[in-house]
Chain A
């Protein structure tokens, strides 16, 4: 499969998984502020196994940078939606953040002229 499509699927899936996973781990009895902070930390931890699994087949930097940018906010989203929204809404919200990060990376890749071999320094 085209690696550009895989990048999109990784961001989409990682956002959904991290948000959903965080919402299942943290208790709904905590205050929203504590949940937000704990969600960010949990999200970061949940991204680690995903990195270990995804880096070898799909590339170190492409996976690592995306997951770092996705993990904390997706965890926060998942935590803050505990008890407020159904599971599928939590997953879709996390996936949406993943798509935003994918878009940011695509934007900067174009801005940096990725793939243009000739770029002579003046």
Chain B
């Protein structure tokens, strides 16, 4: 079995229930995402489009290339892609090793992706490769809490989450972003210190 097939997990199967499972999160995070995504401009790589639930929160007129590892997710995103007032080009691709040229995007967007990919630092390094120097990585992610009161429920649920959804609840994404060589500029909280918004820059050289 190839690496990509292994990483694909059961996202094709999960696509059927994805919108229902994420409907509460989408409602909760819609306003803050609209505000956060308003910084998107230029040529944007959207990693892990899923069923495209975040598309409604994008500002109009963007030039987006959207990748996902699941064909079924991309199929289900098609209606939202078609109704977006801008350009979204969906491509079936693994974020661990993309086929884009170096320095080809002005911005990269991840939404709940760095918690799910198998090797987050490898993915971040790959995204850094395709980002132009000085380009921006915009990430809306959930991470492990630094508060023990909220950290233990996440620890307890993590094995179930990994098994059922392939999502880790205990990643230190800020550390991963720095490890991959980005300058982390903004770290804002959306829910406790668990759901976060990161804005990072690829150094000019």
Contact = CB atoms under 8 A, between A and B. Distances in A.
Interface residues of B, number: 33
A49 to B, nearest CB: 14
Contacts of B99: none
Interface residues of A, number: 28
Contacts, number: 84
Nearest to A119: B188
Given A59-B24, A60-B25, A114 B186 contact: no
A117 B32 CA distance: 8
Contacts of B153: 64-65, 68-69
Contacts of B197: 117
Interface stretch (A17-25, A33-41, A89-97, A104-112): A104-112
B33 to A, nearest CB: 10
Contacts of A62: 24, 28, 191
B148 to A, nearest CB: 12
Interface of A: 3, 55-65, 68-69, 104-105, 108-109, 112-121
Closest 4 CB pairs of A and B: A68-B153, A59-B24, A112-B189, A58-B24
